[in-house]
């Protein structure tokens, strides 16, 4: 059965995009325990194998049922497109122990035998300690599993939002949602989500948070019970090339025209990206990448625009033609 989210007029004005490093951390943890996802992240899994082996993620996995409820206190709704992990984890650390216990018990009930297990009973026996323990564990998972690749991940997520924001301006929300994923349908101000279990909610003016995700790939996930603002996490675009290493795909002709550094930067901008993300991906100094980006922008091959605290660069039609023609 599909899930249904009913929009009123005010809801259409209160939809927004968000990026959440906390969400990606939770989904990275979940991915380690979900073999069906492993094929999308084989390079990442090989690289973090040793780091993951040093973490006991069992308490978190216990609250990540295959089908059912995951506690909202452990992953509150995303703050916005520029939220940092430190900002988001502070909200988790400040969770009310009474609420945490109630939501933890509900989540444990969705995994057979979890409520009666020694670990399940321990999580419920001292909710204040549980909040501290699981928050610490999430923070360790962030540093070990996600933070080293966050510039690359954030660049892909920002590029997804930039693309879908442009599409929203052209086709409106009702046209955009089915484009985001084939499991999403729109009719008569109602969003239909296939394959996620039965859930129905009138948004009542809160609107919807749209959140691209890397590690929840290929799932579409709708979440958060009232009073939280409902959120829809969907597979981010461009994941096929996410873990690809920079290679020798820059043509000799483009190098002769622009110089190697500028040609490499122009070729790498398949999707909009920040200076930091490009420097991380290309393993170049940020100062060098910044100089190349400025030169390419000044010659009309790139445009830049501010998105929150970040400046995104993307190719102009002339830049696209040069990069494509050079391949």
pLDDT at 36: 87
pLDDT at 327: 44
pLDDT at 74: 93
Query: Which regions of the chain carry the CATH code 1.10.10.10?
Result: 245-325
pLDDT at 269: 86
Buried b / exposed e along 117-147 (16+ C-beta atoms within 10 A): eeebeebbeebeebbeebbebbbbbbebbbe
Only one residue has tokens 């809801």, namely 11
Q: Which residues does 199 contact at the CB level (< 8 Å), separation at least 6?
A: 3, 4, 222
Closest CA to 300 of 281, 287, 313: 313
Length of the chain: 327
Closest CA to 154 of 58, 83, 219: 83
CB contact at 8 A, 236 and 156: yes
CB contact at 8 A, 67 and 110: yes
Give residue 4's Cα distance to chain centre.
23
Mean pLDDT to the nearest integer, 221-238? 82
326 pLDDT band, cuts 50/70/90, is very low
pLDDT at 246: 54
33-76 confidence digits (pLDDT tens): 999 888 888 889 998 999 999 999 999 999 998 888 889 999 88
Better-scored residue on pLDDT, 221 or 326: 221
pLDDT at 83: 83
**Strands 190-193 and 200-202, how do they pair?**
unpaired
What percent of the chain lies above the pLDDT cut of 90? 41
Q: Would you state the CATH architecture of domain 245-325? A: Orthogonal Bundle (1.10)
Three-state secondary-structure class, residue 52: helix
CB contact at 8 A, 3 and 200: yes
Tell me how many degrees the CA angle 188-191-197 measures, rounded to the nearest 5. Answer: 135
DSSP 112-166: TTTTTSHHHHHHHH-HHHHHHHHHHHHHHHIIIIIGGGHHHHHHHHHHHHHHHHH
This prediction's pTM: 0.77
Better-scored residue on pLDDT, 108 or 159: 108
Question: What stretches of the chain show up as alpha helix (H) in DSSP?
Answer: 9-13, 21-32, 42-47, 49-53, 58-62, 85-93, 97-108, 118-125, 127-141, 150-180, 252-258, 260-268, 275-282, 286-298, 317-325
35-45 confidence digits (pLDDT tens): 988 888 888 99
Of the ranges 7-16, 128-137, 276-285, the best mean pLDDT one: 128-137
Pairwise CA distance, residues 40 & 243, whole Å: 9
């Amino acid at each position: 059965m599909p899930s249904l989210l009913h929009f009123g007029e005010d809801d259409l004005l209160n939809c927004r995009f968000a990026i959440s490093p906390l969400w990606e951390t939770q989904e990275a943890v979940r991915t380690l325990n979900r073999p069906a996802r492993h094929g999308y992240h084989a390079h990442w899994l090989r690289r973090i194998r040793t780091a993951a082996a040093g973490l006991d993620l069992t308490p978190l996995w216990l609250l990540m049922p295959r089908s059912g409820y995951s506690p909202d206190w452990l992953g509150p709704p995303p703050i916005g497109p520029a939220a940092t992990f430190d900002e988001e984890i502070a909200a988790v650390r400040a969770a009310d122990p009474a609420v945490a216990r109630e939501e933890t018990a509900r989540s444990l009930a969705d995994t057979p035998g979890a409520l009666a297990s020694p670990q399940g009973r321990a999580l419920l026996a001292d909710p204040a300690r549980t909040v501290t323990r699981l928050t610490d564990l999430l923070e360790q998972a962030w540093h070990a599993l996600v933070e080293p690749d966050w510039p690359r991940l954030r660049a892909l997520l920002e590029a997804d939002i930039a693309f879908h924001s442009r599409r929203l301006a052209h086709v409106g929300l009702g046209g955009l949602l089915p484009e985001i994923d084939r499991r999403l349908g729109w009719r008569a101000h109602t969003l239909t989500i296939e394959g996620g279990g039965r859930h129905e909610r009138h948004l009542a003016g809160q609107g919807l948070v749209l959140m691209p995700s890397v590690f929840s790939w290929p799932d579409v996930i709708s979440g958060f019970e009232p009073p939280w603002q409902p959120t829809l996490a969907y597979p981010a675009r461009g994941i096929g090339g996410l873990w690809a290493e920079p290679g020798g795909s820059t043509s000799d002709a483009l190098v002769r025209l622009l110089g190697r550094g500028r040609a490499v930067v122009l070729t790498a901008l398949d999707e909009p990206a920040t200076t930091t993300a490009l420097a991380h991906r290309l393993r170049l100094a940020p100062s060098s990448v910044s100089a190349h980006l400025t030169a390419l922008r000044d010659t009309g091959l790139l445009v830049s625009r501010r998105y929150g605290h970040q400046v995104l660069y993307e190719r102009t039609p002339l830049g696209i033609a040069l990069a494509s023609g050079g391949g």
